[in-house]
Amino acid sequence: MNAPRPAAVQALQARWQKLAAREQNLLLGASAVLSLALLWWLALAPALATLRSAPARHAQLDAQLQQMQALQLEAQQLQNAPQLRTADARRSLQNALAQQLGDSAKIQFSGDRATVTLKDAHASALAQWLALARSNAHAATQEAHLARAGDASPAARGAPPEEPRWSGTLVLSLPSADKGR
């Protein structure tokens, strides 16, 4: 069952037979080198590059995993935290506001929202108060309309730069109304 060979294959075989043994060996060697180069470029080089970059990628993924686990733990702690009554949240916000910001802030409550009006409040004290508002009173910032207070730069007057101050309003949402209490 010899199938007829295409004319092109027959022509190549005839040409091959006409070549000297030395030329056949050179062509076989060149095709072997070409095959090895293709094998390297298409199979081995990409695999080795992946293998070389694996430790760095593994470290990056481990860092992401640790960050995700920390966020998961924080979320679980917030879920398991006891529900805070609105009155307790208000009291906590007022106490923290008096301690952290003093006379530079006033607070007004309306339902489950608190509006804080700031006048020349220190940035670090504001940041600390916001952290306390989130952790102790379970309050979340809904709106912030702040502007940097006192545009006259002390550094321009030759004085050492001081901490930035903020003026404006913050709207916070408090824990929802007393559920089942």
86-173 folds as Alpha-Beta Plaits (3.30.70)
Q: Mean pLDDT in each 10-residue stretch from start to end of the chain (181 residues)?
A: 76 91 94 94 92 95 97 87 80 89 92 92 92 86 90 52 88 70 39
**Alpha-carbon gap, residue 40 to 125, rounded angstroms:** 62
Beta-carbon count within 10 A of 94 CB: 14
Residue 51, pLDDT score: 92
Report the SS3 class of residue 68.
Answer: helix
**What pTM does this model have?**
0.52
Give the type of residue at 137.
Answer: A
Distances (CA, A) of 37 to 33, 34, 42, 49, 77: 6, 5, 8, 16, 57
**How far is Cα 17 from Cα 12, in angstroms, rounded to an integer?**
9
Domain ranges across the chain:
9-78, 86-173
Which residue in 145, 139, 150, 151 sits closest to 176, CA to CA?
139
166: which strand partners?
Answer: 121, 148
- pLDDT at residue 152, as a whole number: 52
